Amino acid sequence: MLKIAVILAAYLLGSIPTSVWVGKIFYGIDVREHGSGNAGATNTIRVLGLIPGISVFIVDVLKGYLAVRLLYLTDFYIPKTGMFINFQLFLGIAALLGHIFPIFAQFRGGKGVAVLSGVVFALHPYATLIVFGIWIVSVLITRYVSLSSMIAGFSFPLVLIFVYRTTNPSLITFAFILAILMLFTHQKNIERLVKGEESKFSLKKKGKT
Ligand code: NKO
């Protein structure tokens, strides 16, 4: 019972719709009605500017990090199997699902990139720093945040396997599931990338479009 309550708490923490609230409270704007329509840090930079966007990024990373760190309990035991699954992984997924389908914002949330970086930082900080480096280089080369986020998503399990020689099967499976989840949340971006219509990242805010 306690574990279910804690997973629910992680979902509620992830559900805090940072970009939607920052936009509505400080600018009277719902960022989901402008730019890419995404409730995330990138679109907040696009619509409202760098300072609110970076603030959203920091809070969203913290949601993922705190869900995994603060709510930590002992590992899950699957009855009769002798198997333990790392409970932190469930908390990370719960926080991500909260962010993507937030109960506090009509279930229309973000794509989970910033939250996922907080989750993976809590699980493996060094691998996450490498992946962050890959993300930055990819943004600089391609100028596509969405593409870079998907590349980062798949880099995390690959860095775990090939750089850190991780053998923990539940961590690796979890990392691949999350990379696939990133493809799912970026479906519209993938369509735009294929058509050559995806917007390239720039620090200048474009205003309400
Ligand atoms: O508005 O559809 P859009 O162009 O906004 O947005 C696409 C974008 C959505 O994501 C965000 C959050 C941006 C945060 C970027 C920080 C990335 C740091 C990644 C480092 C480590 C991550 C490990 C695994 C992550 C997937 O994509």
CB-side neighbour CA atoms (13 Å) of 8: 5
Tell me the pTM.
Answer: 0.90
ipTM of this predicted structure: 0.93
**Residue 84 dihedral angles phi and psi, to the nearest 5°:** -110, 135
Q: Name the more confident of 69 and 11.
A: 11
Comparing C-alpha atoms, which of 182, 187, 190, 184 is closest to residue 157?
A: 182
Q: What is the whole-number distance in angstroms between the Cα of residue 114 and the centre of ligand 1? A: 5
Measured between alpha carbons, how far is residue 40 from residues 24, 46, 60, 72, 170 in Å? Answer: 14, 10, 8, 26, 28
The verdict on the CB of residue 121 being under 6 Å from ligand 1 is no
Of 36, 137, 149, 171, best ligand 1 pocket probe by most atoms within 8 Å of the beta carbon: 149
Looking at residue 32, its pLDDT comes to 97
Q: Residue 145: CB partners within 8 Å, gap ≥ 6?
A: 42, 139, 201
Query: Taking 90 as the threshold, does the pLDDT of residue 61 lie above it?
Result: yes
Query: How confident is the model over 169-208, as pLDDT tens digits?
Result: 888 999 999 999 999 999 999 999 999 999 998 766 555 4
Contact 62, 37 (CB under 8 A): no
CA of residue 160 relative to chain centroid, distance: 18
Closest residue CA from atom 7 of ligand 1: 146
Query: Taking 60 as the threshold, does the pLDDT of residue 55 lie above it?
Result: yes
Contact 158, 179 (CB under 8 A): no
Average pLDDT score over residue span 17-45: 96
Query: How confident is the model over 120-177, as pLDDT tens digits?
Result: 999 999 999 999 999 999 999 999 999 999 999 999 999 999 999 988 888 899 999 9
Local structure of 202: helix, strand or coil: coil
Q: Ligand 1, closest atom to CA 120?
A: 23
**Residue 2 dihedral angles phi and psi, to the nearest 5°:** -60, -40
Average pLDDT score over residue span 33-38: 95
Query: Taking 60 as the threshold, does the pLDDT of residue 71 lie above it?
Result: yes
Q: Ligand 1, closest atom to CA 201?
A: 4
CB-side neighbour CA atoms (13 Å) of 100: 17
**9-18, 43-52, 66-75: least confident range:** 66-75
The verdict on the CB of residue 149 being under 6 Å from ligand 1 is yes
Closest residue CA from atom 8 of ligand 1: 146
- Distance of alpha carbon 67 from alpha carbon 79, whole angstroms: 25
**Residue 83 dihedral angles phi and psi, to the nearest 5°:** -100, 140
Q: Ligand 1, closest atom to CA 146?
A: 27
**Residue 72 — very low, low, confident or very high, per pLDDT cuts 50/70/90?**
low
Q: What is the whole-number distance in angstroms between the Cα of residue 48 and the centre of ligand 1? A: 17
Q: What is the whole-number distance in angstroms between the Cα of residue 204 and the centre of ligand 1? A: 18
Q: What is the whole-number distance in angstroms between the Cα of residue 2 and the centre of ligand 1? A: 32
Strand partners, 78: 83
Query: How confident is the model over 73-91, as pLDDT tens digits?
Result: 656 555 665 555 678 888 9
CA angle 102, 104, 108 (to 5 degrees): 45
**Residue 209 — very low, low, confident or very high, per pLDDT cuts 50/70/90?**
very low
